[in-house]
Structure 1
Amino acid sequence: MFKTRFFALLFILLSFISFAQTKVNTDDQAIRKSLVYFVNSIKYKKIDQAVECIYPKYFTIISKEQMTQLLNMTYNNPLLKVDVQDMKFGNIEKPELIDGEYYSIVNYFPKLKCNVSAMNENMKTKIGEAMISKYGKQNVKYLQNEGSYIINANMRACAISKDKKSWKFLILEKQYKPQLVKILPKKILNKI
């Protein structure tokens, strides 16, 4: 009888743990799916679609129109062709409920190819220096024969959702912190 109770209790405990893991994985999967959609929107130059993936409160700081122009200048620029080649995920934090919204910090690693072949040598050098300054020398490689830089970027984003199904994003970089202070909870800001 003791053995039966023990195994029943063990089974219930393992079922509970499995259910809890499934729940965490479900959150992870929803965040990954939304972030892949966002990055693919940029990759395939669907800028309006990409803008819809940005946390709406950010548009109280910069208008949707300005964001659309900024992304178009970055990803549809004939002098600096930026292509997202690949993306890997790092740690995705467990979503935290703060003031009615869930927040999760996501580490991800896009591989970018920046074709600068249309630029003069001076501009190519300046672009390279800027990329090395931002991403680190070990993460930037110049391909002379293609006139392109390959960048292995280490990036962080904040995923935000009301329902844990549909996630919106903010890119987390120290230079954006003065803007983000206006819209993110202090607990999240402290992680930047």
Structure 2
Amino acid sequence: MKKVLLVLSCMLCLPFFAQEMKTGIENQFRDYNNLIVEKKFEKALDLYANEDFLKMFPKDQLVDLMNQMFNSPELEFKIDKPENIVVSDEVVEEKGQKFVKVTYLQKIQMKFVGSELKVEDLQSALQGEFGYDNVKLDPSTGYFYISSVKEAAASSSDSKNWKFTVLEKKQIPVLKAFIPEQFLRELK
């Protein structure tokens, strides 16, 4: 009887721990993105960047690139906080790390300042990158509004402190060094 009760109590606790882990991932992912929206790039990378990614791309260089992108005189660029965050139930264990896929909606606003390219060409290029229906132009302001469903990999060695890597198909050659292959195969 004691064994049956022990098994039942373990079965009842597993969903609680899984939900607690998913909530932790989502909260940390929101914090990571909030830091980026607030342009606190160094803190975002210190707290939440995948260590293997930082071995390939030094933090100082990434911070410089992010500052250039967000503060470029040729481009007005703003990202919103992610929406519709879905943390997968599936946990992949590899190389002493747990990996969980995070899917979310990212909204971006951008305006090209002083560009010699035609607005139609810019719009076509953005639609090629993000999908035709995901790019809208406000002709009165010149802003492009982009909605993109994105994926990230959350990784942790202790299931408490999560690091994040945005997954993009064009970055597969770099990502395959430290992201589980099944995450990369499923990229759209």
Please report the TM-score for the alignment, with normalisation by the length of structure 1: 0.82
Question: Residues 48 and 124 from structure 1, CA distance in 2 versus in 1: closer, same or farther, beyond 3 angstroms?
Answer: farther
Paired residues in the alignment total 182
Larger Rg belongs to: 1
3-state DSSP class of the match of 2:104? strand
Alignment of 1:115 onto 2:114:
no
Alignment of 1:139 onto 2:134:
yes
Give ranges in structure 2 of 5+ residues lacking alignment.
none
Q: CA deviation at 1:16?
A: 5.4
Please list the CA deviations of residues 99-131 of structure 1 after superposition, one character each: whole Å capped at 9, or x if unmatched: 211101111111111133x23362644443332
Q: Percent sequence identity over matched residues?
A: 24
Q: Give the aligned partner of residue 155 of structure 2.
A: 160
Question: Residues 163 and 139 from structure 1, CA distance in 2 versus in 1: closer, same or farther, beyond 3 angstroms?
Answer: same
Alignment of 1:169 onto 2:164:
yes
Please list the CA deviations of residues 39-91 of structure 1 after superposition, one character each: whole Å capped at 9, or x if unmatched: 11111111112222210111222211221122112222232222222422343
Alignment of 1:31 onto 2:25:
yes
Which amino acid letter does the alignment assign opposite residue 51 of structure 2? P
Question: Residues 56 and 92 from structure 1, CA distance in 2 versus in 1: closer, same or farther, beyond 3 angstroms?
Answer: same
3-state DSSP class of the match of 1:153? strand
Give ranges in structure 1 of 5+ residues lacking alignment.
none
Matches within 5 A, 1:1-192: 13=8, 18-52=12-46, 53-93=48-88, 94-116=90-112, 118-120=113-115, 122=117, 124-192=119-187
Which amino acid letter does the alignment assign opposite residue 76 of structure 2? K
Which amino acid letter does the alignment assign opposite residue 131 of structure 1? L
Q: Tell me the distance in 1 between the aligned counterparts of 2:121 and 2:56.
A: 29
3-state DSSP class of the match of 1:27? helix
Q: CA deviation at 1:27?
A: 1.3
Q: Tell me the distance in 2 between the aligned counterparts of 1:73 and 1:144.
A: 26
Please report the TM-score for the alignment, with normalisation by the length of structure 2: 0.84
Answer with 85-94 or 99-108: which moved more: 85-94
Note if contact 2:37-2:81 (Cα within 8 Å) is conserved in structure 1.
no
Note if contact 2:34-2:81 (Cα within 8 Å) is conserved in structure 1.
no
Q: Tell me the distance in 1 between the aligned counterparts of 2:135 and 2:23.
A: 30
Question: Residues 16 and 119 from structure 1, CA distance in 2 versus in 1: closer, same or farther, beyond 3 angstroms?
Answer: farther
